[in-house]
Amino acid sequence: MPKKYQTPLLDELEKGPFPSFVTEIKKAAAKNDMAADELGLLEKSYKTKRGYWKHGGIVGVRGYGGGVIGRYSSLAEEFPNVANFHTVRINSTSAFFYTSKFLNEMCDIWDKYGSGLTNLHGSTGDLVLLGTNTENLEPIFAEFSSRGWDLGGSGSAMRTPSCCVGPARCEWSNIDTLEINYAVTQEFQDEMHRPAFPYKFKFKTAGCAVDCIASIARADCSIIGTWKGKISVDQKEVAAYAKNGMNITEEIVNMCPSQCMSYDGKELKIDDANCVRCMHCIAKMTKALKGTGEKGATILIGSKAPFVIGATLSHVIVPFMKMEAPYDELKDLVRKMWEWWDEHGKNRERIGELIIRRGMREFLEFIGIDPIPQHVKEPRRDPFYFWTEADLQKK
Amino acid sequence: MALPQRRTDIGPPHYKDFLPPVIQKNYGDWKYHEILNPGVMVHVSNKGEKIWTVRVASPRLLSTDTIREHAALAEKYCGGYIRYTTRHNVEFLVSDEKNIEPLLKDLKDKKYMVGGIGPRISNIVHTQGWVHCHSAACDASGLVKALMDEFADYFTTKSLPNKVRLAVACCTNMCGAVHCSDIALVGIHRKIPIVETDKIKNMCEVPSTIAACPTGAISPDPANKAVKIKEEKCMYCGNCFSVCPALPIADPVNDGVAIVVGGKVGSLRSDPKFSKLAIPYVPNNPPRWPEVTSAVKTILEAYIAGARKHERVGEWVERIGWESFFKATKLPFTFQHIDDFTIARETYRNSAAFKW
Ligand code: HEM
Ligand code: HEM
Ligand code: SF4
Ligand code: SF4
Ligand code: SF4
Ligand code: SF4
């Protein structure tokens, strides 16, 4: 029987309507020594208002440099079963679709070799198995990989790519987000499992500018679906929205960022040349409006959390790329970017930081892209720019 | 017992093996969707075929028992098909309309929280906190539980001007996306790591400790075979503690939570935005952080009172102006609110036209 801890503070978090993580830890703790000590340790954190985890040596599976986060308790004597309590990142499926069969198998393996606790999912998109000891890592890997599952990324490597639900269940997707995600993951297995980059690199793919996967905020490479043609308007459906109480002038026309719509009470018109494809009108009138014509993606680079230079959002590098399997254009671009980053990036410098440090010009020239106004919100304000010999030769 | 044969670099299985038949048949051919109620939506294809999605909240941290229960429900009502969302909700994918009511009843009996679709508060993106991370300045799961209990009605029934996306990150590494959320909490340390000088020579490697600091705040202390930290350069990131356990940063007295507001990631109506500082520090008060939930409630209520339909928090604030935000919420404005980091001068006011 696992040790039973008194947890008066955590018990407070079993009350209320939202499902309780404490109840989850207790369920696992009833039959698992590691989960029991995790519960006891967490109660202690609640009492003392501090955490007790530390690093303490890299761990992993043979042949891989990532996929496992080593985690050690600084109170190993008091809570011996979480003395080491590592996370295993399992590479999730595109858009997190599963079957009951897989989930049950996963639970069987994890009950046998781990704490019985998971995160569905970590924010990078891994299926996170939360807490096991060093000896169990190889067996866990053998059990999962023999069934067709692999580890995700960690450390200075490509991290597990993730994508929105896209064409599987969304009428707005301009690209096959699931297939792109799968193709990128398979193409760069070595870059994922054997960290050799200056720092981490993340891909996230969204089917449209709604960006349900938050790619623009948290991916070194954000792939966002878009289109080149007109927005088709079904005036009958427009009338139905109006009849059902939508104030089309206020809610749609006036909120269009480019002020390119008009509505006279009968007909909704769009000046497509001025539309920025923001998705507002389509999202609100999905039965009436649809992007048409050529479909593809905008490729943006460089978002990251605040360390070290402040948070950044991804910025446009390729305004439009056709996205057709096997996605060679994307893969070639990625290889080129990595080559530049590998050569110039400092330890723990993300590609977006490197672009800021060395300048867009060097980056764009290296990957072979000409400057266009779509790259910027506005041109520079200062007169302190450089000229190369080649620039001077241009007439 | 012998282990099965391991394989390497196989990547994940192909997603097609996990899609319900109706999705395989209508892949990329969806026409529209309708939100039937806060927990149920239906997608209709150009062929006229339908898939219903029933969404429930999860605490993200799940035991195998609960995952098995998800699997059993999926088997009973969804042909075994299920998905999880980036915001840690569970989606039951129902192909047969007859199964919706029995599924909802079963979920209700098992006390699942159904909802989160539409202009509401969905589940909270969050990180590990005291459950599993070494640099946490607060817990994450506990804050999420306290907030979601407080705002449960906005998940299950009540609607808002638009979606309000909440996030929690337990330190400024911000694994939790707080930098682009409508309202987000971020754990903050307020003092530099303690240098346990006499332990360093046994526990740590000086060069790698110095190299771990992103701001160059650490320098050698050769006399003691230890290191020194320059206080004015330290950003309290905890990276040095990762490589050197003799530089602990956890601080029960000074750690706490900052609240940032007005971020978004979609491009709808206005460009994606960063969240900005609303409250620089609220003390840690586990298990329920009442000061934090009440501050979030203040901000949420001001948004509900002031925003136009479809405006996100950040769009509302930008329309009325940040000076009006501080007035509407009665939150104090402090020195910490004025940026002194990399983009400071972009944030100063360059106009005499502002509101009182
Ligand atoms: C430079 C900033 C960051 C640092 C130093 C950092 C560090 C860490 C550490 C130490 C952990 C281990 C937590 C544990 O013990 O389980 C972790 C976990 C994780 N990080 Fe980060 N992180 C950073 C930014 C991010 C961001 C921005 C994301 C999201 C895209 C992210 C995604 C994850 C995920 C998914 C995990 C697994 C645990 C979880 O899901 O909470 N990290 N990170
Ligand atoms: C499920 C919720 C989330 C968790 C648990 C989480 C956790 C983490 C963790 C642990 C990392 C480090 C990544 C890694 O090392 O693998 C990370 C990175 C990051 N997260 Fe999240 N995250 C979440 C959601 C989000 C969201 C919704 C956004 C954006 C809106 C976001 C933005 C970022 C960014 C930009 C990074 C990369 C920053 C960097 O690594 O420099 N995260 N996150
Ligand atoms: S990002 Fe766009 S295509 Fe993808 S799920 Fe969201 S709305 Fe649909
Ligand atoms: S997509 Fe956006 S910019 Fe284009 S017409 Fe609709 S609201 Fe206007
Ligand atoms: S936000 Fe900080 S404390 Fe929380 S999981 Fe990420 S690195 Fe750890
Ligand atoms: S906490 Fe971060 S910034 Fe401060 S000394 Fe350590 S590594 Fe440097």
| 3-state SS, one letter per residue, for B14-69 | CHHHHCCHHHHHHCCCEEEEEEEECCEEEEEECCCCEEEEEEEECCCEEEHHHHHH
Residues 6+ apart with CB under 8 A from B10: A145, A148, A149, A150, A189
Residue A306 pLDDT more than 90? no
> Is B12 within 8 Å of A185 when comparing Cβ atoms?
yes
At residue A315, the 3 state secondary structure works out as strand
Distance from CA of A374 to the nearest CA of B (A): 14
> Is B310 within 8 Å of A85 when comparing Cβ atoms?
no
Chain center to CA of A267: 40
Nearest-CB residue to A55 (from B17, B27, B243): B243
Q: Say which amino acid occupies B162.
A: N
Which atom from ligand 6 is nearest to the alpha carbon of B235? 3
CATH 3.30.70.20: which residues of chain A? 231-291
Instruction: Report DSSP state, residue B273.
Output: B
Of A230, A229, A285, A225, which Cα lies nearest the Cα of A253? A285
Per-residue pLDDT tens for B76-120? 999 999 999 999 999 999 999 999 999 999 999 999 999 999 999
Distance from CA of B281 to the nearest CA of A (A): 15
> Taken in order A215, A216, A218, A221, is the CA torsion positive or negative?
positive
Residue A57 pLDDT more than 80? no
Question: What pLDDT does residue B1 have?
Answer: 65
Which atom from ligand 1 is nearest to the alpha carbon of A55? 10
Report the separation in Å between the CA atom of A89 and the middle of ligand 2, taken as the mean of its atom positions: 14
Cα nearest neighbour of A49 on chain B: B252
CATH topology for A8-146 is: Alpha-Beta Plaits (3.30.70)
Report the separation in Å between the CA atom of A170 and the middle of ligand 4, taken as the mean of its atom positions: 19
> Is A280 within 8 Å of B85 when comparing Cβ atoms?
no
Per-residue pLDDT tens for A186-229? 999 999 999 999 999 999 999 999 999 999 999 999 999 999 99
Cα nearest neighbour of B46 on chain A: A171
Question: What pLDDT does residue A347 have?
Answer: 87
**pLDDT confidence of B173, banded at 50, 70, 90?**
confident
Question: What pLDDT does residue A56 have?
Answer: 67
What φ, ψ does residue A258 adopt, rounded to 5°?
-100, 5
Q: What are the CA-CA distances from residue A106 to residues A102, A109, A127, B31 (Å)?
A: 6, 5, 10, 35
**Mean pLDDT value across residues A263-292:** 98
Residue A344 pLDDT more than 70? yes
Per-residue pLDDT tens for B242-252? 889 999 999 99
Of B308, B175, B79, B35, which Cα lies nearest the Cα of A218? B175
Q: Say which amino acid occupies A309.
A: I
Residue B297 pLDDT more than 80? yes
CATH architecture of A162-227+296-394: 2-Layer Sandwich (3.30)
**pLDDT confidence of B174, banded at 50, 70, 90?**
confident
Among A48-57, A74-83, A141-150, name the one with the lowest average pLDDT. A48-57
Q: Note the ligand closest to the C-alpha atom of A218.
A: 2
Asked if residue B246 has its Cβ within 6 Å of ligand 6, the reply is no
Q: Which protein residue has the closest C-alpha to ligand 6 atom 7?
A: B213
Chain mean pLDDT for chain A: 96
**pLDDT confidence of A362, banded at 50, 70, 90?**
very high
Share of chain A above pLDDT 90, in %: 94
Of A157, A159, A181, A8, which Cα lies nearest the Cα of A94? A181
Which atom from ligand 6 is nearest to the alpha carbon of B218? 5
Tell me the chain B residues in contact with residue A278 when contact means C-beta distances shorter than 8 Å: 267-269
Q: Which residues of B170-206 are buried (b: 16+ CB within 10 A; e: fewer)?
A: bbbbbbbbbbbbbbbbbbbbeebbebeeeebeeebeb
CATH 3.30.70.2500: which residues of chain A? 8-146
- Inform me whether the C-beta atom of residue A263 falls under 8 Å from chain B C-beta atoms: no
Residue A83 pLDDT more than 90? yes
Residue B271 pLDDT more than 80? yes
Distance from CA of A381 to the nearest CA of B (A): 13
Question: What pLDDT does residue B343 have?
Answer: 86
Question: What pLDDT does residue A55 have?
Answer: 80
Residue B302 pLDDT more than 80? yes
Per-residue pLDDT tens for B122-139? 999 999 999 999 999 999
**pLDDT confidence of B73, banded at 50, 70, 90?**
very high
Pocket test for ligand 1, best of A123, A307, A348 (most atoms within 8 A of CB): A123
Per-residue pLDDT tens for A152-161? 999 999 999 9
Residue B237 pLDDT more than 90? no
Question: What pLDDT does residue A123 have?
Answer: 86
Q: Which protein residue has the closest C-alpha to ligand 3 atom 6?
A: A212
CATH 3.30.413.10: which residues of chain A? 162-227+296-394
**pLDDT confidence of A246, banded at 50, 70, 90?**
very high
Residues 6+ apart with CB under 8 A from A324: none
Of B120, B118, B136, which Cα lies nearest the Cα of B128? B136
Is beta strand A231-233 parallel, antiparallel or unpaired with respect to A289-291? antiparallel
Asked if residue A278 has its Cβ within 6 Å of ligand 4, the reply is yes
Tell me the chain B residues in contact with residue A54 when contact means C-beta distances shorter than 8 Å: 134, 241, 245
Cα nearest neighbour of B73 on chain A: A100
CATH architecture of A231-291: 2-Layer Sandwich (3.30)
Q: How many beta-carbon pairs below 8 A join chains A and B?
A: 354
Q: Are A175 and A205 in contact (CB under 8 A)?
A: yes
